[in-house]
Each structure stands twice: as C-alpha cells, then as structure tokens.
Structure 1
Amino acid sequence: MMVRSTAVILAAGKGTRMKSDLPKVLFPVLGRPMIHWVLDALETSGVTRKIVVVGYRDDLVRSELAGRTGIEFALQAEQLGTGHAVQMCRPLLETGPTGPILVVAGDSPLIQPNSVRAVLNEFQQGGWDCFMGTLLKDNPFGLGRIVRDANGRFSRIVEQKDASEAEQAIREVNMSTYAFDRDGLLQALENLGNNNAQREYYLTDCPAYLLSVGKKVEAKPVLSDCEALSINTLDELKAVEAKMQEMGYPCAN
C-alpha cells in the first residue's frame, strides 16, 4: 500500500520565451491551462495533497485553481531557482504528512500517472532518500544530465550551462520528477548554495548533497518517452499538443 505522499508543483515562472505576459502554466494546451493536465495526472496516480509554487502573477494561477480540491499554495516572490522554489514550501512541508515528497514541473502536461506511480514505488521499495525518474533522449540539449560514477551509480546532475563537452554528450536526462524523504529534503534545502553559472539555487543539487552525507540516492529511466516533451516555447507547445492528440487526450475546445 502506497503511503500518503505530497506533491510540490513548480509553477512560479513567467515563461519569457512564450512571448506573452501570461504565467507559463496557464498557457492553454488542448484548450486547458497546462497545469490542469499535471494536476489530473497526480490525482489519477493517487496523490491527494498538492502544493503549487506560484510567483509571477500568482493571483491568476490561484484564481484558475480555486475550483480544485486539495491545493495549497507557496509563494516564490523572487524566482531564484528551482531549489529556492521548494524552499518556499518549507512551512507547509514541516507541518504536513511525513510521507514522500514528490516534486514535478508545472509545465509538463504529458506527465503520466503510471510514471508518478513508478517513481513513488521505486522510492518506497528501494528505501531511497531520493529517487529520480529519468529518461534517455537523443537530443538532450538544454536538459540536466545524469552523471554516474565508474560503477554506474548516480553521482550528480549537471545543468546544460555548467556541463563539460563530455557531460553534454550524456543521453540520460533529468525531467524534474523526484521523490524525496521529507526530512532529507529539508536538510538538503538548508544546505543549498548558488555557485553556478546562473547564481541560482538548483533543486538538482539536492540529490548530490544527500549522497555526500551518506544518504541513499538513485536515478532510473522509468519515465515514458512522451515525457521528454515539456514546454518552454510556442513551438514546443505545438509539439506537445500534437503528441497529446496522437495519444488520444480529450480536447476542451
């Protein structure tokens, strides 16, 4: 039996490459704001508590989600990275259930309920402090790469802008789908730094930190191929819509 989990949905971004003042997660995909597809997948997978991190024009996101149940909000007033976004959830995480914390991106409407279940099942069955669902992508440009040691074990995640030429050739990518032990996550968030090209606090540094203090961390390509498609540009939005139509998603138009 899966223990009760909490999902943190990263939804604070402006989406500057979308050429609009609308918060990115409110862009319509098949006639619905994309964040609804993410929340639907989480609910179908059995996740009942959902914390949505809002920031840019947060009033619009709050209003759009007012009719949904089980939603709590955390405000990221300054967008200082994904790690900073989850840090803003700390008061809610400290007072909530002690089950696993799932962290997902609000701009990935192709997230699959079976993948969410797979990540949580791997997390629980393996006794991990952190488990990351990954996938293999032929053109991984722009995505964080999964770096492994000589024995094939997870070592760290390196972002595109910080990756060496050899690291940029890695095909296994991070798709921002994590399960964390609550106490381990809170400890890692306390120790996050911003020593990187963007001077941001990366959530991707949390797994490596946990590994460095003796915690159990694993990453496996358990996600579906379709989840390689996320939305940062209008062209990517069109590609996601085409894939969703191919897969038989209902259109709200």
Structure 2
Amino acid sequence: MLTSIILAAGEGTRMKSKLPKVLHKICNKPMVNYVIEAAHKANLNKNILIVGHGGDKVREAVKNENVEIVKQPIGEEFPYGTGYAVMQAKDHIKENSYVIILYGDTPLITSETLTKLIEFHKSGGYNATVLTAEFEDPTGYGRIIRDENGNVTEIVEHKDATDKQKEIREINSGIYCFDGKYLKSVLDKLDNNNAQGEYYITDAIKILNEEGCKIGGYKIEDKVEIAGVNSKVQLAEAEAVMRRRINEKLLMNGAIMIDPSSTYIDSDVKIGKDTVIYPGVIIEGNTEIGEECVIGHNSRIVDSKIGDRVNIQSSTIIESEVDNDTNIGPYAYLRPNSKIGKSVKIGDFVEVKNSTIGDKSKASHLAYIGDAEVGKNVNIGCGVVFVNYDGKVKHKTIVEDNAFVGSNSNLVAPVIVRENGYVAAGSTITEEVKSGALSIARARQFNKEGWVEKKNLQREEKK
C-alpha cells in the first residue's frame, strides 16, 4: 500500500491573512489541492490530511478530493512540530505500506517526483529516504550528511552545523518516504527535548540511523518543486511557476499563445489544437475550448464549453456553452446558463442570460436577451430588449425559427413570436405574434407644422 501523510495544520502567521495558509489559491485552486492531486497521480491510494488551524475551512475545501481528515489538537497545552503532526496519523499507518510525508504548503511538488522517490526507495532497499536538493546558497537549510556509500547518515540543521558542514550544498526538503513499519515504530521514540519544545520528524532519521537502518537520499534536479509558500511574496512566485507549467503543457498539446507571460489559464482548462490565445486572456475553472478557435485579447471565460472554430473577441463568458463556428463579441457578455448554437453571431454589447439561441441566429449589437428560447435563423435587431422581469418573477420569451425582431423593440415576457413572425422596429410586444404576421406596436407618427417657431425653440449656431 502507498500512503501519504500531508501536513496542513500550521497557522501560517507570515501570510498575514485570516485564511488558513494552505487554502490560499494558486491558479484559482487552493495550494493544498495541488499536493493532494500529485499524491493521487503518483498512485498513493491512501491519503491522510492533518488539519489544525482553520480545520473546518480546510475540510470544506478538500471535500471532493478523496482524502481522510485527521484533526491535530491545537492550543498552548499541546506540543507543536512536524513530528507531532505525523503522530496524529499513526493509527492509519500500515506496517506493510510505504508512507510519504508531504506538506500542504509545497504546491509545486509533482507526481513524477513522488513516483521516482518511491521507486528509488524500493529499489535501494531503504528503510527511509529523504528527498533532497542542491542549492547554491543553502543558508538556513538542514544539510545532508552521507557516508562513503552515498547513504544518508545524518541531517544537520544549519544552526548546529560546523563550518565544514555548512559548505555542503545538498539540503533536506522535509519530504520523506518511509517503510510503514519503521515509521510507526520511530514515532514512539520522538521527543521534544529541544529549545523549541517541539517534535521534529527530522529526528526520526537520526533515530533510525542509530538503530542501524538504511537511509537513502534522492536528489531532485528541479529544486523549485520543494519551495514552500510562507508569505504572499512566495505565493506570487509559486503562481508564476504554476502558470508557466500550465501554459507550457497546453502549448505542447497544440494550443498557440501569442504571449504566454500575459495569459492566465487555470490548471483544469482544456484547449484544442491550433486554438490561438491572445494576450490578456483569462480562462478559469472547468473550461474546455475546441480546436482552431481564436480567443481575442482581454477575454474572460469561466466554467464554459466552447466548440471548434469559435471566434471570441474581448468578451466575457461564464458557465455557458458556445457551439461550432460561432462569433462572439467584441464586448459581449454571456451570463450563466447561456447556450449558443452553431454559426451564431453575438455581437458587440450584447448580453445573454439563461437563454438558448439556435443555429445561424444573429444578435449583432446592443441587445439584452434574458430567460429566452430563440430558434434558428432568427434576427435580433439593435437595441432589442427581452423584458423578462415584472418586479417579482422572471418570465420566459420564445422566438421561433426564422423570426425577425426589428431594432429598438421590447418583448415583454411571457410572450411568443411564432415561426416567420416579424416585429416592426420600435415596437413593444405584449401579445403573441402569429406565424407569418407583422406586428406593429407603436404610436402613429404625427407632425405638428410650425411648432418649433411657435415655441421659440429655434437652435442657432453660437458665435
């Protein structure tokens, strides 16, 4: 069995925030969720999350992540330290398992590294393995001491290191792989006889060495993976790394980005081949975009599904669907539950909400379409408003296939415009428009001759 114990109980005072540290978001996802995801992808089939400060909020954030929650007691009467946190999971550790110790504030760790760590641990016959990295400036980190065979004999903290030991650049990441049997045994032997009065999992390595166990050290090449997030500055740095990873993965899979450095895409987004993403684009949540699309500058798409060959220019789309060969924008706004068909035109300053619009229909500019069912090949003129709210209740408007709604018209819901019905420009429609009929709902024009002169309202050019 492969098990992870993910430590996420810390208060995170350096974050200067009311939010638990591990819930601060990177690319719109709590950082602890990245650690859990890496564990799942590395086939760690049992994952224990140790929570403490803000535990209820953490529990809510990971409720769909298939982890077991263990609460660490917190308060002045309880000790602290990584060793104490791991102790809380003791009852979940099986003697015949491999256990990896992870941290909820190291979101850049990858499943590939965890898999290699486990393989190194198994193949070397180690009882415990330390994940290490080499830093040009290792100041502040615990140094890895190895014997002539390359096995780890000791981890020396920076403050306790000799001058010669301080020259060592290989450091302890704090991530470990243990045989379950040895981890479970050594947890009973940890003590907090130190200046901080805390239990440290680092001491487990020292104890196992003294007992003659074999300790390995697996060095990773990309040290950024072990970077912890303890401040808003480090949060921003981790965000930059994660965005680069996401964008590179999408580019490798066939997307095109004009300027990846100014493109913001969440980790769960899918983008098809030859889709072009312009600068300033933000794509969030569970969004899926098809092939050969163009997503113009400053567009924002959230939790939406976009078909193939769709052109979106400087527009916002939220929780909606857009089918193939459709043009959106510029400056269009698709609000939640909008479903746009094939070869549709939703033009500039058109807002759609909770509506379906059939294939080949057009709303080219300055219209509001709310709570509506619009058929195929319908023309919605400039300035048309679907009047859906009576002050208490939202009502539905139906416009059937091949209908024509003239500019500056109001469709007062609930109302139906039947197939091939026409609405004259400037009309306010409150009753059904029959199939094939022209509906005119406006006052007859009446001109009063000489009215301007009579009222002395002539406009003269100012000198």
TM-score by length of 1: 0.90
Cα separation, 2, equivalents of 1:142 and 1:171? 11
Contact 2:26 2:242 in 1 (8 A): no
Structure 1: which amino acid aligns with 2:92? L
Match of 1:207 in 2: 205
Choose 118-127 or 142-151, whichever is displaced more: 142-151
Q: Output the CA distance in 1 between the equivalents of 2:21 and 2:166.
A: 27
8 Å contact 1:13–1:55 — kept in the other structure? yes
The root-mean-square deviation of aligned C-alpha atoms, in Å, is 1.9
Q: Which runs of 5+ in 2 are unaligned?
A: 248-264, 268-283, 285-463
Displacement of 1:165 after TM fit?
4.3
Alignment partner for residue 182 of structure 2, among 184, 202, 206? 184
The letter for the 2-side match of 1:22 is L
Q: In the alignment, what sits opposite 2:88?
A: 88
Match of 2:234 among 236, 240, 246: 236
> 3-state DSSP class of the match of 2:35?
helix
Distance 1:160 1:77 in 2: 29
- Which one has the bigger helix percentage? 1
CA contact (8 A) 2:83 2:201 kept: yes
Select which of 11, 30, 33 maps to 1:14: 11
Structure 2 CA distance for partners of 1:65 and 1:92, relative to 1, 3 Å? same
SS where residue 236 of structure 1 aligns? helix
3-state SS, counterpart of residue 132 of structure 2: strand
Of the structure 1 ranges 138-147 and 175-184, higher mean CA displacement relative to structure 2 is found in: 138-147
- Structure 1: where are the runs of 5+ without partners? none
User: How far apart in 1 are the matches of 2:236 and 2:50?
Assistant: 25
Q: Measure, in 1, the Cα distance between the counterparts of 2:20 and 2:160.
A: 27
Instruction: Tell me how far apart the structure 2 counterparts of residues 97 and 107 of structure 1 sit (CA, whole Å).
Output: 27
Code of the residue aligned with 1:64 in structure 2: it is A
Is the 8 Å Cα contact of residues 162 and 197 (structure 1) preserved in structure 2?
Answer: no
SS in 2 for 1:201: coil
Q: Aligned pair in 2 of structure 1 residues 36, 207: CA closer, same or farther (>3 Å)?
A: same
* 2:70 matched residue in structure 1: 74
**1:223 positional shift:** 5.4
Displacement of 1:64:
0.9
CA distance in 1, matches of 2:185, 2:33: 31
Q: Residue 44 of structure 1 aligns to which amino acid in structure 2?
A: K
Alignment check: 8 A CA contact 1:30 1:251 kept: yes
Residue pairs, 1:2-151, within 5 angstroms? 4-69=1-66, 71-78=67-74, 80-93=80-93, 96=94, 98-149=96-147
Q: By how many angstroms is 1:149 displaced?
A: 4.3
> Would you say the 8 A contact 2:22–2:104 is kept in 1?
yes
* Structure 1 residue 107: Cα displacement: 0.6
Q: Percent identity?
A: 35
1:229 Cα shift?
A: 2.1
Pair 1:208–1:228, CA change in 2 (3 A): same
Distance 1:223-1:23 versus aligned 2 partners, 3 A rule: farther
**Post-superposition CA distance 1:118-138 (Å, at most 9, x none):** 110011111111011111112
CA contact (8 A) 2:120 2:218 kept: no
Residue of 241, 266, 288 corresponding to 1:251: 266
Q: What is the match of residue 173 of structure 2? A: 175
Counting matched residue pairs gives 247
The answer as to whether partners of 2:109 and 2:226 remain within 8 angstroms in 1 is no
Conserved 8 A contact 2:151-2:215: no
CA 1:238/1:182 → structure 2, altered by over 3 Å: closer, same or farther? same
3-state SS of 2:137 partner: coil
TM-score by length of 2: 0.51
Separation (CA, whole Å) in 1 of partners of 2:84 and 2:20? 18
For the Cα contact (< 8 Å) 1:135–1:172, is it kept in 2? Answer: yes
> How far apart in 2 are the matches of 1:161 and 1:246?
35
| CA distance in structure 1 between the partners assigned to 2:195 and 2:146 by the alignment | 22
CA distance in 1, matches of 2:199, 2:47: 22
